[in-house]
Structure 1
Amino acid sequence: MPTLTPQNDQETALNLPLWLSNKLMRIPLLSDLLLLVLWLLLWRVAALMEYAPHASIWFPPAGASFAAFLLLGLRAVPAIAIGSILVTFWESYLYHTGMSATQLLSIGSLFAIAHILPYYAGASILRMFIHSDEQKLPRLMLAFVIIGPLSSLSASYCIQISLMLGGAISANDSTNFLWIPLWVGDLIGVMVLTPLSIGLVSRIFPNSGVWLSEIGLRQSPGPNLPFFGKLLLAAFLSTLIMFTAAFFQVRELAFGIFFIGVVQMWIVYTETPLRSAVSIAFLSALTALLVQQLTLGDDALIYQFSISVLAASTYFGLLIPVLASNNERLQEIAHKDGLTKVLARQYFFQLAAQELQRARYYHQPICLVVFDIDHFKSINDTYGHTVGDLALKQLSQTVTSELGPADLLGRFGGDEFMLLLPGSDLEQAQKLLYLVREKVIALKLEQLDIQLKCSAGVTEILAEDTLLKAFERADCMLFEAKKQGRDKIVATI
């Protein structure tokens, strides 16, 4: 099999992470170890940003778990289970709980089960949308913003139960609603970091992310400098707002954080989906860090809510260009002929009816032409349908190049076309057709040993005519041109 050599150093740099991940995948269990390390690092990020004991503004490992189960399924379970147990021991060491290794192993195992089951179930449900839905991205995104929060809610409640069963907390009134702050932290971790974690996990396990290129998010990134400028602007505004709230001790100032959404939407609509995911992750990490550093724990709920709103807005914002693109493609399919790219028959008649009504209102002449390629069946039979299709496309392009801005060209079917000429009387229409006829004859197709020639029937649409009646009359003129030996233009009022 031939190998592809990168064209320059920049391309080599871009391909290096994927090349490296392919090499790593060949080393047994190394990919699983990297997933474990990634999960532990994200847990440590949450621990470093605690604004109160055991209370961080977000819980990044939740996003990593959801992404891993989405991409890997059951293969991700061992790494995340081991990670859940390890952080239980780690946290006991940090807070000097004095629990025995047996107790910690029991609590860690219960925590692993409580964490894994809800996220695995949620990811499994979301995977069904990936494989079953032709219009993947819109429904996938909507499913994610519903399933993600429900999974984090289930995980938080299960974790509270597991901590009670393990004896880490007592079942008294003060801890009955521990699942609420746990849920908020997990929710933000899922909403903010799942997309970015998908990118990281798919690098560690390259074969797991095959479907990522099929969900409508493929875009080429623009220059780096404008993106970093927008990111720095958002970071500056966020920092300024939070410093102001901390300095003046006015709680209402904390709500100013929602204005960061304006800059975030600017990034969403002007940058790639990957950069949008990076920006929301960066702003969330910055917010969590500032809450901890500026001792804004009393207002943590406001900042957590703002991050959730930013994340949801980002995902729905990503849908707009995709939906617009899908709508544009659907309109093109409905309005344009797939082969020649001229107007489809139904849309031609729809626009022609509007032009006819306008011409009658302004008392302007309007002509209808029906034409086709002479001996087109022989071209298909002799040279093949591929050459026949090429002839149709070349003919369409040639005719289009001679038309005015108000003229309409449509394909009726096969090799038969329709031409509407608003503002042209019968004489003007014939002059245009003779010019087009010369252009068609002058066409040189390498695959054809013969010249393309056309026959046409043209009629002026009268005040009492319907569009259908005028079309039938022009079609009769086309038939008359065929009877006269082809390569003719026959006109009638």
Structure 2
Amino acid sequence: MLLWKVASIMEYAPHASIWFPPAGLTFSAILLLGLRAIPAIAFCCMAATFWEDATYGTQLPWQQLLETGALFTLAHISAYAIGASLLKLLISRRDAHQLPSLLLAFTIIGPASALLAGYLTQTALIISGMLPDSPSGHQLWLPLWVGDLLGILVLTPLLIGVLRRIYPRYGVWVSELGLRQLPGSGWEFLLKLATTLLLMVVVMLLTASLQSKEMAFAIFFLCIPQMWIVYTETPLRSGISIALMSFATALLVKYLALHDDALVFQFSISVLAASTYFGLLIPVLASSNSRLREMTRKDSLTRAYSRQHFFQAELEIQRARYYQQPISLIVFDIDFFKQINDRFGHTVGDLALISLAELATTQLRQADMLGRFGGDEFMLLLPGSGQIDATTTAERLRLALPNLRVEGLTSQITGSFGVTEIAAEDTVNSAFEKADVLLLEAKRLGRNLVLGTITATE
């Protein structure tokens, strides 16, 4: 009812407001709470009908007001229930990585719901006798649609956040969208907000004083400071800024008598809102891309380089050859690792792999690379190390392994190693095959062994 009062303040024609916030609340409430939100919304629709009658002093019979209220309630709720239900269905089938498609769906379904609400509301008012059944009455759907459209585009995300704070049990999917960002200085946000609002006021005052329709289109330049806020502030603050800008714009249209330019300002708010939501995708997509790159580069369990990334290390080999430096490869694994899994469980086996990776990392220089081939098999690429230095490194690791302490594991860990210096004609793949053969031979000879080979050049 408070939002309804706000809308009536910004009314520029009977039943037509510059901006209609109750539409955003209805859409948000049904989207988040479902059917349980409808009774309260229906009560407010009925109460608002009597409120409108008192405001305009129409003194209609209470029976006609009840009929009008019932028809309006049905029109308002059914339109937004259809749209919110469809969007909720799409949300249930998607995850955080498909946030762009969900925002696109919102910017299509939201306006379509508002259009349906505008047409149904017009029909309800004509049937109840509140509007004449004439060409003028049949043209009300357009201002109704634009006002509702702004209410949905501007307020829905912000109101979902507010409602979720009131009803934390609902809308778990909101926290899964990836819109997380730490807030910066509050004073800096207020400065950005004040700058944006000042520019908006200047444009609208110039439009009113110069009586220039062309000047009204300068309002679209507010996309620039609004994007400044979007890219540097949290999603919540971005939502607050677009809501305040929309409210201020609607009030200025009302009190500066810019009714002839109302449509320009209304669509400018729509553009700003849509730009805001799609602008929010940039940090989300950047974060998602960063996580995907990290997933392809690093093994999720041990944080060693993944097999795919490790085998792309040809550049390291080329660099070693260019500077005429040796480069070696060590392939190693845990002895009887299957027995550890079978006897102590896979959780203990995972802890053993993590401990082994951490131990190997402590033995590495900055240029060395640790990779996990799969299972319990690891690889070490050692630029600047020849066969002898690499064998020494492997031996040092072999001697340190029994000292590892793994929670839940009562037996000592040992490992087998195959070491080879990468020859001039070798690739990472061919060097791996050589070291892997040496590893298998070390296991065949009794395990807990480092086995290497001297290249022809050495």
With the length of structure 1 as denominator, give the TM-score of the two structures: 0.84
Q: Contact conserved, 1:437 with 1:453, CA < 8 A, in 2? A: yes
Q: CA deviation at 1:294?
A: 1.8
CA contact (8 A) 1:291 1:297 kept: yes
Q: Is the contact between residue 150 and residue 266 of structure 2 (CA under 8 Å) also seen in structure 1?
A: yes
> 1:301: which partner in 2?
263
Picking from 150, 155, 158, the partner of 2:112 is 150
Is 1:347 paired with 2:309?
yes
Residue in structure 2 matched with residue 76 of structure 1 by the alignment? 37
Using the TM superposition, give the Cα deviation of residue 488 of structure 1 relative to its aligned residue in structure 2, in angstroms: 3.3
2:159 alignment partner in structure 1: 197
Identity over the aligned pairs, expressed in percent? 57
Matches within 5 A, 1:44-55: 44-55=5-16
Match in the other structure for 1:173: 135
Cα offset, 1:223, TM superposition: 4.2
Deviations 1:424-482 (A, max 9, x none): 33233334434544554554556555654433211122233343332221112223333
Q: Are 1:430 and 2:391 counterparts?
A: yes
Cα RMSD between the aligned structures?
2.6
| Mean CA deviation greater in 109-118 or 325-334 | 325-334
Deviations 1:154-207 (A, max 9, x none): 111111222222222223333332211111111000111112222333345443
Shift of 1:403: 2.8
Q: Which residue of 2 aligns with 1:333?
A: 295
Which stretch of the first structure deviates more once superposed, 304-313 or 97-106?
97-106
Mapped contact 2:95–2:177 kept (Cα < 8 A): no
Are the aligned partners of 1:52 and 1:297 in contact in 2 as well (CA < 8 Å)?
no
Q: Is the 8 A contact 1:71 1:209 kept in 2?
A: yes
Q: Distance in 2 between the 1:162 and 1:332 partners?
A: 56
**Per-residue deviation, 1:85:** 2.5
Structure 1's unaligned 5+ residue stretches are 1-39
Q: Is the 8 A contact 1:220 1:272 kept in 2?
A: yes
Within the candidate set 389, 399, 423, 2:350 is matched to 389
- What is the aligned partner in structure 2 of residue 265 from structure 1? 227
Aligned partner of 2:450 in structure 1 is 489
1:321 & 1:290 partners in 2: Cα distance?
A: 33
1:234 matches 2:196: yes
Find the counterpart in structure 1 of residue 371 from structure 2: 410
After superposition, the C-alpha distances for 1:109-167 in whole angstroms (9 at most, x for unaligned) are 22222211111111111111222223463332221111000000111111122222222
Conservation of the 8 A alpha-carbon contact between 1:395 and 1:440: yes
2:139 counterpart SS class? coil
For residues 196-235 of structure 1, the aligned pairs below 5 Å read 196-235=158-197
Q: Counterpart in 1 of 2:73?
A: 112
Q: 1:432 to 1:156 in 2, by over 3 A?
A: same
Work out which of the residue numbers 234, 243, 255 in structure 2 matches 1:281.
Answer: 243
1:122 aligns with 2:62: no
Tell me the residue number matched to 1:21. none
Return the alpha-carbon distance in structure 1 between the equivalents of residues 399 and 194 of structure 2: 61
Q: Tell me the distance in 2 between the aligned counterparts of 1:449 and 1:85.
A: 73
What's 2:437 paired with? 476
Whether 2:429 is the aligned partner of 1:459: answer no
Q: Could you list the runs of 5+ residues in structure 2 that have no partner in the other structure?
A: none
Secondary structure class of the residue paired with 2:49: helix
Contact 1:51 1:296 in 2 (8 A): no
Matched letter for residue 229 of structure 2: I
**Which is worse superposed, 220-229 or 191-200?**
220-229
**1:21-36 matched pairs, under 5 angstroms:** none
Letter in 1 for 2:131: I
Range with bigger deviation, 166-175 or 441-450 = 441-450
SS at match of 1:455: strand
SS in 2 for 1:216: coil
Matched, 1:254 2:230: no
Cα distance in structure 2, aligned partners of 1:168 and 1:449? 84
Instruction: Say which SS state the counterpart of residue 176 (structure 1) adopts.
Output: helix
Residue 310 of structure 1 corresponds to which residue in structure 2?
A: 272
Residues 62-82 of structure 1: per-residue CA shift (max 9 Å, x gap)? 101111211232222232223
> Structure 1 residues 283, 447: CA separation in 2 closer, same or farther (over 3 Å shift)?
same
Conserved? CA contact 1:141–1:315, under 8 Å: yes
One-letter amino acid of the structure 1 residue matched with residue 436 of structure 2: D
Aligned to 1:163: 125
Q: Report what 2:103 is aligned to.
A: 141
Post-superposition offset of 1:352: 2.4
Aligned-partner Cα distance in 1 for 2:208–2:146: 22
1:86 — aligned with what? 47
CA deviations on 1:301-335 (whole Å, 9 max, x unpaired) are 12111110111111112222222323333333333
| Alpha-carbon distance, 1:220 to partner | 4.6
Note closer, same or farther for the CA distance 1:84–1:385 as it changes in structure 2 (3 Å cut).
Answer: closer
How many positions carry a matched residue from both structures?
Answer: 453
For the pair 1:62 / 2:23, whether they are aligned, the reply is yes
- How many Å separate the matches in 1 of 2:253 and 2:352? 68
Retained in 1: the 8 A contact 2:398–2:450?
no
Q: 1:479 to 1:77 in 2, by over 3 A?
A: closer
Inter-partner Cα distance in structure 2 for 1:481 and 1:69? 66
3-state DSSP class of the match of 1:421? strand
CA distance in 1, matches of 2:345, 2:42: 62
| Range that drifts further, 207-216 or 175-184 | 207-216
**Counterparts of 2:168 and 2:346 in 1: how far apart (Å)?**
42
AA partner of residue 65 (structure 1) = T
Distance 1:267 1:460, change over 3 A: same
Instruction: Report the residue type matching 2:246 in the other structure.
Output: S
Equivalent position of 1:17 in the other structure: none
Which stretch of structure 1 is more off in the superposition, 393-402 or 118-127? 393-402
Query: How far apart are the structure 2 equivalents of 1:291 and 1:67?
Result: 26
- In the alignment, residue 332 of structure 2 is paired with which amino acid? F
